[in-house]
């Protein structure tokens, strides 16, 4: 099940949360990769600092584990403001949000993770807060119902989402700044791994960092997680020094192949290729065959397989590529077979 995967971008355990905070860069100058985004953000922050103003509302979108939360913390640090963090599914009642909003000070940052999962009622409630820094709060019921207009301090909302397409247009339009966070090239991940190893007091050879990076699916959170698994392996099976050979052995033992694919990825590809003759196959059918939630497949499994060209999303469903079959050592169903079947 996805919960146990070590190559997923999200699903952070509490103890991992602690390590995550230790490894997280606090400033833009420490942040590795996403150069274009970083340059743009630097200008925005400097301009806001010069004017003594809060920055506009920001939306970060992209696959899980790429640093959206980290960037929100960096913005708060760079602006010298407080960050209050919550998540779309945690905000159930307008009262929950009312309490948070009225406690924000001038320039504070409200970070809402998984903002695409806000309920419609909360979304409606948040519009005037974002636009005019006020909320309309209904007290009492029926004939006694009253709308109280509550002014708010000028705060910045930072939203993060893995699915920008699920955001309603009115919510999307209320953000002033949009930043797409993309998968990291292996060279950037190798630098992140070397930085993390230094913080964790672990000795790692550059070739080993590169080998781990290449299996990290373009995702820093996965890179840091694999580094910790390899570090355990080095401590137990060797003298603690992480060499390339040891890193590869440790990751092979975890079932993570040369491209960073794990059992679930391989199973998904194998089902499309063998069972559905290369596709197309609907995501619901894949979820049912794999006994996995569709959201897990869409958020955590597919993005990287799409990125490396192993699957394609078409109107009629998902299709696997010949490269995917080659990587798994499977026969790729020829055109004839597909025409006969579909």
Please state the closest distance from residue 224 (CB atom) to ligand ADE, in A. 6
Please state the closest distance from residue 24 (CB atom) to ligand ADE, in A. 6
Helix axes 35-51, 68-79, angle to 10 degrees: 30
Nearest C-alpha neighbor of 153 from the set 197, 184, 107, 98: 107
The residue (of 191 and 267) whose beta carbon lies closer to ligand ADE is 191
| DSSP per-residue letters across 287-318 | HHHHT--HHHIIIIIHHHHHHTTSEEEETTEE
Instruction: Return all residues near 254 (Cβ < 8 A) that are at least 6 apart.
Output: 6, 226, 229, 262
Please state the closest distance from residue 220 (CB atom) to ligand ADE, in A. 3
Q: How many CB atoms lie within 10 A of CB 51?
A: 9
The residue (of 155 and 184) whose beta carbon lies closer to ligand ADE is 184
Instruction: Return all residues near 311 (Cβ < 8 A) that are at least 6 apart.
Output: 269, 272, 279, 302, 305, 318, 319, 320, 321, 324
69 is a catalytic site residue: yes
Q: Choose the catalytic residue: 8, 24, 69, 188.
A: 69
Interacting residue ranges for ligand ADE, rule: CB under 6 A? 23-25, 31-33, 67, 70, 192, 195, 220
Please state the closest distance from residue 112 (CB atom) to ligand ADE, in A. 20
Which residues, listed in sequence order, are joined to residue 69 by a DSSP beta bridge? none
Classify residue 331 by its DSSP letter. Answer: P
Answer positive or negative: Cα dihedral of 10, 13, 14, 15. negative
The residue (of 159 and 220) whose beta carbon lies closer to ligand ADE is 220
Please state the closest distance from residue 15 (CB atom) to ligand ADE, in A. 17
70 is a catalytic site residue: no
The residue (of 171 and 192) whose beta carbon lies closer to ligand ADE is 192
Burial grade of 304 (CB within 10 A; 0-12, 13-18, 19 or more): buried
Long-range contacts of 238-243 (CB under 8 A, 24+ apart): 240/202, 240/203, 241/203, 241/204, 241/205, 242/197, 242/202, 242/203, 242/204, 242/205, 242/208, 243/205, 243/207, 243/208
68 is a catalytic site residue: yes
The residue (of 32 and 55) whose beta carbon lies closer to ligand ADE is 32
Q: Choose the catalytic residue: 113, 188, 262, 265.
A: 113
The residue (of 18 and 103) whose beta carbon lies closer to ligand ADE is 18
Q: Choose the catalytic residue: 5, 24, 68, 231.
A: 68
Please state the closest distance from residue 200 (CB atom) to ligand ADE, in A. 12
Q: Choose the catalytic residue: 81, 162, 202, 243.
A: 162
Residues tagged active-site: 68-69, 113, 162, 221
């Amino acid at each position: 099940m996805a919960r146990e995967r070590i190559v997923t971008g999200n699903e952070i355990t509490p103890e991992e949360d602690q390590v995550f905070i230790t490894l997280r860069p606090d400033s833009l100058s420490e942040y590795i990769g996403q150069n274009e985004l970083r340059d743009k953000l630097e200008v925005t922050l400097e301009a806001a600092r010069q004017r003594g103003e809060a920055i506009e509302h920001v939306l970060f979108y992209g696959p899980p584990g790429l640093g959206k939360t980290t960037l929100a913390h960096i913005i708060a640090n760079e602006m010298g403001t407080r960050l209050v963090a919550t998540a779309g599914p945690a905000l159930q009642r307008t009262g929950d949000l009312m309490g948070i909003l009225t406690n924000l000070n001038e320039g504070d940052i409200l970070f809402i993770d998984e903002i695409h999962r806000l309920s419609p009622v909360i979304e409606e409630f948040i519009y005037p807060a974002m636009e005019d820094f006020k909320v309309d709060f209904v007290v009492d019921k029926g004939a006694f119902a009253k709308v109280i207009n509550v002014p708010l301090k000028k705060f910045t909302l930072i939203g993060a989402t893995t699915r920008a397409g699920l955001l309603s247009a009115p919510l999307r339009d209320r953000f002033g700044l949009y930043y797409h966070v993309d998968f990291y090239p292996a060279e950037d991940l190798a630098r992140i791994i070397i930085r993390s190893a230094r913080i964790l007091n672990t000795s790692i050879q550059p070739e080993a960092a590169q080998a781990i990076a290449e299996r990290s699916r373009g995702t820093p959170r996965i890179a840091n997680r694999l580094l910790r698994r390899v570090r355990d392996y080095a401590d137990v099976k060797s003298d603690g020094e992480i060499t390339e050979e040891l890193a590869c052995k440790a990751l092979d033992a975890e079932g993570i192949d040369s491209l960073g694919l794990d059992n679930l990825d391989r199973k998904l590809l194998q089902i499309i290729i063998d069972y559905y003759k290369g596709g197309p196959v609907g995501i619901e059918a894949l979820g049912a065959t794999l006994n996995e939630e569709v959201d897990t497949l869409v958020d955590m499994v597919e993005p990287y397989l799409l990125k490396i060209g192993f699957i394609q999303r078409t109107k009629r469903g998902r299709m696997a590529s010949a490269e995917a079959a080659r990587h798994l050592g499977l026969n790729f169903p020829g055109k004839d077979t597909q025409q006969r079947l579909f």
